[in-house]
Amino acid sequence: MVRVALRGVRAHLVRFCLSVLAVALGVAFVAGTFALRTMLGSTFTDIVATTTLGDAYVQGADPAGGTGGPDRISPDVRNPVPLTLVDELEAVDGVAAVLPDVQGPLVLVGADGTAVQSTQAPSFGFAYDPRDRAVDVVAGRAPEGSDEIAVESATLRASGLAIGDATRVVVGGEVRPVRVVGEVGLGSALAGATVVFLDAATAQAAFAPDGTVATISVLAKVGLTEQELVDRIAPVAAASTVPAEAVTGDEVRERATANILTVLGFITTFLLVFAGISLFVGGFIIANTFSMWVRQRTRELALLRAVGASPLQVFSSIVLQAAIVGVVGAALGVAGGLGLVVVLRTVLGRFGMQLTGRVPLDGFTLVVSVLVGTLVSVLAAAVPARRAALVPPVEALRDEVSLPERSLVRRATVGVVLVVLGVGAVVLALLDPTADHAGALLGFGAGGVVLGVLAASPVLARGFLRVASLPIAGWRPVGPLARGNVTRNPRRTANTAGALMVGMALVGAAAVIAATTQASTSAIVTQEATTDYILRGAAQGTVPAQAVADVRALPGVRAADTFSTAGVLVGGSTFAITGIDPTAVGRSIRTEVVDGEFPGALAAGQVAVQRTTMDDEDWSLGQELTLVGSSGAETVTIGAVIDSPAFGVPFVVSQTVLDALFSVDEQRLTTVFVTAADGADVGALRGKLTATVRPYVVVSVMDSEEFVSDLAAQVDRVLVILYALLGLSVVIAVLGIVNTLALSVIERTREIGLLRAVGLGRLQLGTTITLESVLTAVFGTAVGLVMGVALAATLPTVFADVGLRTLAIPWASIGLMLALAVVVGVVAALWPAVRAARLPVLDAVSTE
């Protein structure tokens, strides 16, 4: 039977190639995902390995909050240690050098007068120390004064600057004129980070004004191991006035690498979800292909049974062909995935994000990719293979051989049950959207609805296509022919459209999510922001403090209210916290108060907590919390419960409390709301604001509409990636239509020859096949969009707490997608239509 399987592949090479292509596209995503993760991992671990070269490190012994922490994580951020330890550590026997970690945010102005910034990578300033093993001055010299800088090699190229050029940097909210005096190499790709070196005194004044740093690196003399060095400096760390400890360099590097791999694990999971979708869609094509193949070869399979082949042998021959499809497709997919990573690395490099030069292919990626491709192919072919194995040998004696079609009642019943169960789960989630399990219920419900519709799609197809084909019913003879061909076998039509159905359901849901996110953002700004203008930082979202002072000094400005954020430690976890002036509430921003006094609680030194955080943590009004920051700890009372998407963080305190927890340099000043004075010319004020912040390079002046547009653009940039990933599933679905039409032409060769013989022209035949393709594509698109839009429309109810509060359905985009379905149908039909039109009439008529 192996020989039979191989001959079947050779005899039907076109079908084989199309199926292989479907598998290859899905596997390429899987292989590319693993390879990309490995490349990203090696890039960042190389950064750690080449920049973290200390033999030992002195760090804080107690956990502490960090700048710009997320809503709730457990970060490895500790209290800072004093610079006074440097002299004490240098006096320890066996210590070669002590390098305090003096660094902080810095913005470099490039040759074009704008901030140097690639992708979303950070921009840092470091203190230059000639003893640092990671630093190598490759050209020029080291900076020696506050007006000199040295620039890392990749940053220098991205900036367009050269040694000797004059430029500016923004450090600590102050714009400083500087001259580039040197180029520094760090020995590894920095993934687009902007790195500038200052002389030690300037860096310490800018980044460590309070005399503390995050860590202190210690280098050992030759012959001393890391552990021996730690044993010698540990007493100095333990005797510090603040909690401090000594750890080996290997421990620090391992911890940093583990944190990186944890983050990359999330990215891998995200990408693998879409890889799974692609393979799922590809499975439709393979299953449809083998179903048609079995139907076309029924007589041949019956002859095999008649000459002694057992059902198991017939089954095995078809499964073997599917396995060949899977293995070949997986091999091509692995190659394609690596090619995608090479292209992606080149594209990211052009945008300034330099990744490691190695494109990895390890045994794990290869084995997983081949297994996935093979299993998907075999499973997709299993059902048609079973049908083929049960063909009675007596069928070989008949002139007309066909497999009996099963009733659609059972399939429709299963579909209806799944849809009912799915809708029920969705309704339960909508009835209690604040429950912990609401999101899970919605997910299970959506899955049930999609699977149910796919199961019942043959019944839906028959009714839908009869209505959809009415506009072409009078276009004789091609209209009735196309209508009859797609409704004659609704199971095949539904399976063909199923791939497109899944892809379009996801695209439709993504479109609703995008529109809802933008509408919700607009509503938040409209309802909660009462300011005239908004200042936003272009580089890492920061606004220099000096720029705020300059704006406040402008005539016509009533107030410039700042919103500074940091990550505060509460009960072992870090929460984002915002500090504001209590008087800003009602002047620049308004919010819904659920309980307590707001902003009175802020004025009294208390904390306001978001309602969702209160529910998640089971806190109550009046409860005391201990907030731990890098500068100390504060015990505060929960004085208000708010429901404010505009703040977007769990905790809100007065700026005074935030200053007690973090130094100014450790706070991230993200947004400034500027309110005009009574009677001031608001239009003229904008010109003054623009002129005032222009020297700071990184600050933009926006009104409310522009602010909303800027936030919407950020959403669009994220969704572009999402649409690109979903586009792959649509491409695979188009291949499915091409595949099915091509096989349909083969299956109907005799019918086509008879039609041509009685006068049907080539153009009419091609038009018939094109209309079949368009009807199939419109069915898949329409049903998919209805599912996607309907399910996505429930998100604002269930996920209102994360900001999705205003439902918006992009009808124009949905109409465009339906129009695109017609285009997809025409494109998919081109090759099968041409192939059918070129069939020799006499040969086609004589085909058995």
Q: Round to whole Å and give the CA distance between 80 and 103.
A: 13
Sign of the Cα pseudo-torsion (32, 34, 37, 38, in order): negative
Per-residue pLDDT at 359: 65
Per-residue pLDDT at 844: 63
Contact 150, 180 (CB under 8 A): yes
Our measurement of the distance from residue 819's CA atom to the centroid of its chain's CA atoms, rounded to an integer in Å, reads 28
For the record, the structure tokens of 848 come out as 């058995």
Helix (H) or strand (E) holding 333: helix 311-350
For the record, the structure tokens of 171 come out as 């450090």
Per-residue pLDDT at 351: 55
CB atoms within 10 A of CB 308: 8
Per-residue pLDDT at 73: 35
Residue 368, phi-psi category: left (phi > 0), alpha (psi -120 to 50), beta (remainder): alpha
| Cβ contacts of 350 within 8 Å, gap of 6 or more | none
Per-residue pLDDT at 70: 38
For the record, the structure tokens of 566 come out as 């940091």
Per-residue pLDDT at 335: 85
Q: Round to whole Å and give the CA distance between 579 and 74.
A: 21
Smallest Cα–Cα separation from 546: which of 376, 672, 408?
672
| Cβ contacts of 625 within 8 Å, gap of 6 or more | 570, 571, 607, 619, 635, 636, 637, 638
Smallest Cα–Cα separation from 165: which of 137, 139, 202, 126?
139
Contact 142, 150 (CB under 8 A): yes
Per-residue pLDDT at 179: 94
Triad 396, 490, 315: Cα angle to 5°: 40
Residue 143, phi-psi category: left (phi > 0), alpha (psi -120 to 50), beta (remainder): beta
Which residues in the chain come in under a pLDDT of 50? 67-75, 399, 401
Sign of the Cα pseudo-torsion (279, 281, 284, 286, in order): negative
What are the distances in angstroms from CA 720 to CA 263, 567, 727, 824? 21, 30, 10, 20
Our measurement of the distance from residue 757's CA atom to the centroid of its chain's CA atoms, rounded to an integer in Å, reads 55
Per-residue pLDDT at 263: 66
Per-residue pLDDT at 45: 73
Residues in the chain: 848
Dmax over CA atoms of the chain, in Å, equals: 103
Per-residue pLDDT at 165: 92
| Cβ contacts of 585 within 8 Å, gap of 6 or more | 591, 598, 599, 602
pTM beyond 0.85:
no
What are the distances in angstroms from CA 528 to CA 160, 447, 515, 666? 42, 36, 20, 27
